[in-house]
């Protein structure tokens, strides 16, 4: 593995200062039911709504939140709309990774000047809570980034949304904190193109690189590069398939999603044992690795604070790098198509992505692929 960590002190000019992930918007076939899933399963509280009752005629959107984590679940009301076509082609999935900025107009201007395709030029929306400026650019597949400038807004989420009075009696917090990273799957030979896009268009730097010698099994392999913004707060791994004996998980995703898109979203916690226990109790299904993975865990990763027995019971993986260690686990796909899934991650100093777990994890994914007849 080649590693080049982004160092903010070496970046002379950050022309796109990003404050964090503002929200992630999913296009789904039934937003009301999807909202219930994330409330009941992940413990995210329903906080805002937009739809016909609020004057929005073409869609219904539900906002669910937990700490700094915010999802927007949107469904079209017109079966012949572009959004409906998106869902027909891709199934439920991520449409927009929205990024918080101080100046949305400047973000749009700088990124389009560097080659981004504009999707929505800067526009101001407002209500009694103030105003929000939004602008969007295209990225891989049908995925977009929306720049959100809300410094002059004190209302509920965005203008056009109404508050859903709390407390949410369905949602019981599970300890999820924020988005750690979001992973893209792109086609063969496309990874370097999108790495270059983020470097040139958005000012990101190459953070880590994994090749097929790092991420491979007996049957399949892939390559991945991680890009990060100047502050290091935003990280996007980008995967592409590599040649193997059988179909890789990336190829399965691309076939099922009908093109590039967001493969998984990593959600941070500060107590992964507690979080995964609560998620499991609520019916969230996780990938499992053989119990033999834990036989030599202390030798591989050294001293850790958590009980190895408890980690084994839950299926949580551990990896260590020069900065510390991290714990991670992956859900099974949350859609009927084998596309989107989630990672739960706790960092104890580590800045890595679990290189030492790749083989065990990918063999687990391949077992699920075989069950679906897609390996």
> What is the value of pTM for the model shown?
0.92
Give residue 127's domain range.
Answer: 16-163
pLDDT score for 7: 44
> Residue 33 pLDDT more than 60?
yes
Look up residue 369 and give its two tokens.
């692929």
Domain termination residue (choose one: 140, 163, 186): 163
Residue 68 lies in a domain: yes
Which one has a higher pLDDT value, 66 or 292? 66
Counted domains in the chain? 2
Q: Supply angle C-alpha 177, 181, 183, rounded to 5.
A: 140
Same domain, 318 and 295: yes
**358-372 and 249-257 helices cross at what angle (nearest 10)?**
50
Query: Which structure tokens are listed for 160?
Result: 């056009």
Share of the chain above pLDDT 70, in %: 89
Query: What is the mean predicted confidence (pLDDT) over 34-59?
Result: 97
What is the distance of C-alpha 214 from the center of its chain? Answer: 22
- pLDDT for 222 equals 72
Give the N- to C-terminal CA distance of the chain in Å, as an integer: 26
Residues 184 and 152 in one domain: no
Per residue in 319-372, pLDDT (tens digit) is 999 999 999 999 999 999 999 999 999 999 999 887 767 666 656 666 777 777
CA distance 136 to 121: 7
% of the chain with per-residue pLDDT over 90: 77
Instruction: Please report, for the domain that includes residue 264, its CATH number.
Output: 3.10.180.10
- Model pLDDT, residue 216: 54
DSSP 352: S
Check residue 219 and give its pLDDT.
52
How much is the average pLDDT of 242-265?
A: 88
DSSP alpha helix (H) spans, 288-339:
297-301, 308-314
Residues 77 and 49 grouped into a single domain: yes
Q: What is the average pLDDT across 18-44? A: 98
Burial zone of 359 (CB within 10 Å; 0-12 exposed, 13-18 middle, 19+ buried): middle
In this prediction, residue 1 has a pLDDT band, given cuts at 50, 70 and 90, of very low
Residue 170 belongs to a domain: no
Distance CA 366, CA 35 (A): 30
Give pLDDT, residue 179.
98
Which tokens hold the place of 288? 């499992």
pLDDT at 32 over 50: yes
How far is 315 from 232, CA to CA, in rounded Å?
Answer: 29
Q: Is residue 297 part of a domain?
A: yes
Mean pLDDT of the chain: 91
Of 161, 163, 129, residue with least CA distance to 55: 161
Average pLDDT over residues 4-24: 72
pLDDT of residue 6: 43
């Amino acid at each position: 593995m080649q590693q080049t960590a982004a160092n903010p002190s070496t970046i002379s000019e950050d022309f796109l200062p990003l404050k964090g992930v503002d929200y992630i918007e999913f296009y789904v076939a039934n937003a009301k039911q999807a909202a219930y899933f994330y409330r009941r399963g992940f413990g995210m509280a329903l906080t805002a709504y937009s739809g016909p009752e609020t004057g929005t005629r073409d869609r219904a959107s539900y906002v669910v939140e937990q700490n700094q984590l915010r999802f927007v679940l949107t469904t079209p009301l017109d079966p012949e709309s572009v959004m409906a076509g998106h869902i027909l082609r891709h199934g439920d999935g991520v449409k927009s990774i929205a990024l918080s900025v101080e100046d949305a107009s400047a973000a749009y201007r700088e990124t389009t000047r560097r080659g981004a395709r504009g999707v929505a030029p800067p526009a101001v929306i407002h209500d009694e809570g103030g105003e929000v400026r939004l602008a969007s650019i295209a990225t891989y597949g049908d995925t977009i980034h929306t720049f959100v400038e809300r410094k002059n807004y004190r209302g509920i989420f965005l203008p056009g949304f109404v508050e859903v009075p709390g407390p949410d009696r369905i949602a019981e917090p599970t300890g999820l904190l924020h988005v750690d990273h979001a992973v893209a799957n792109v086609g063969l030979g496309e990874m370097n193109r999108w790495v270059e896009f983020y470097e040139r268009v958005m000012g990101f730097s190459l953070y880590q690189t994994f090749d097929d010698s790092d991420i491979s099994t007996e049957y399949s392999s892939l390559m991945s590069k991680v890009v990060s913004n100047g502050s290091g707060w935003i990280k996007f791994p980008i995967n592409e398939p590599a040649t193997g004996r059988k179909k890789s998980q990336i190829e399965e995703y691309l076939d099922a999603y009908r093109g590039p898109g967001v493969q998984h979203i990593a959600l941070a916690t500060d107590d992964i044992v507690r979080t995964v226990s609560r998620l499991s109790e609520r019916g969230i299904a996780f990938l499992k690795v053989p119990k033999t993975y834990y036989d030599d865990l202390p030798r591989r990763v050294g001293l850790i604070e958590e009980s190895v027995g408890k980690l084994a019971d839950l299926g949580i993986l551990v990896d260590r790098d020069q900065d510390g260690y991290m714990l991670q686990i992956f859900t099974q796909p949350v859609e009927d198509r084998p596309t989107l899934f989630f990672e739960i991650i706790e960092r104890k100093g580590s800045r890595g992505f679990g290189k030492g777990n790749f083989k065990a994890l990918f063999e687990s994914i391949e077992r699920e692929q075989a069950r679906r007849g897609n390996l």
